[in-house]
Structure 1
Amino acid sequence: MSSDEERRTNGMRVRREVLGDAHVDRAVANVNPDNADFQDYITRVAWGDIWSRPGLDRRSRSIVTLTALMTAGYWEEVPMHFRAAITNGLTREEIREIILQVGLYRGVPVANHGTALLRETLGDSA
């Protein structure tokens, strides 16, 4: 069992590898008394525990994460995870396939919004 400090350190490393230094630096700079405990929690638990587990590679975790976020309608998190998915080895074409698959089971409006966010997030690149 890892200590909280080991989980926090590992979580911050994984968080930076997946989301990039610029994103994490912005999140850290915005820590305040209202969100400090939550930021610590997601670093230790989401990144230090879950994203660090050996059962799925990061590419697969990105597929699951994008599917869950779009299906639940958590659109504010989707652009960040589009970028993370590219970092984790998915191609833009694969992300489009994920959007189509989610659209099949969740509906056309979800796929329309996902496609628009993909274009807005990645532009003509990737």
Structure 2
Amino acid sequence: MTDQLRQVGGGRSMFEGFAPKLAELTDDVLFADVWNRPELAPRDRSLVTVAVLAAGGDSAQLEFHLGRAIENGVTEVELIEMLTHVTLYAGWPKGMAAMAVAKKFFGSGTP
């Protein structure tokens, strides 16, 4: 999978002067290491990440990872279908909240 787009984090740009260790771990461990391991393609990691964020009710991180998923080749239709599927396993309120973030992200009007 060496032809895959290298995944890069934004921890330092967000938190370097405020929370330098978190910035370092975000960029050097989460993105530079884990996101770039060859055992899963970035597309697959994006699907897993969006599903976990939706299931956990972590809407604050969801918009960023929807964008990352699109960059990694996941389509809008696939993301909507995946969120619908997750809703039935993770719970209606979490799924509805995640879908509202997706609707806003994809520009389909006010959630």
TM normalised by structure 2 equals: 0.83
Match of 1:56, SS state, is: coil
Where does 1:102-121 land on structure 2 (aligned, <5 Å)? Answer: 102-121=86-105
Q: Return the alpha-carbon distance in structure 2 between the equivalents of residues 65 and 119 of structure 1.
A: 18
Give the Å deviation of 1:27. Answer: 5.2
Q: Secondary structure in 2 aligned to 1:85?
A: helix
Letter matched to residue 78 of structure 1 = L
1:60 to 1:29, Cα distance in 2 relative to 1, 3 A: closer
Mapping 1:35-50, distance limit 5 Å: 35-50=19-34
The residue that corresponds to 1:14 in the other structure is: 7
CA RMSD of aligned residues (A): 1.8
Matched residue count: 103
In structure 1, distance between residues paired with 2:93 and 2:79 = 17
Matched residue, 2:3: none
SS at match of 1:15: coil
Kindly provide the CA deviation profile for residues 52-95 of structure 1, in whole angstroms up to 9, marking residues without a partner as x: 10000010000110111111111100000011110000110000
> 1:123 is matched with which residue?
107
Q: Which runs of 5+ in 2 are unaligned?
A: 1-5
Helix, strand or coil at the partner of 2:8: helix
Q: Which runs of 4+ in 1 moved over 6 A?
A: none
Ranges in structure 1 where 5+ consecutive residues have no aligned partner: 1-12, 17-23
Sequence identity percentage: 28
Query: Does the 8 Å contact 2:80/2:99 carry over to 1?
Result: yes
Matched, 1:31 2:16: yes
- Alpha carbons 2:12, 2:24 under 8 Å: kept: no
TM-score relative to the length of structure 1: 0.74
Q: Is the 8 A contact 2:51 2:82 kept in 1?
A: yes
Q: Secondary structure at the match of 1:67?
A: helix
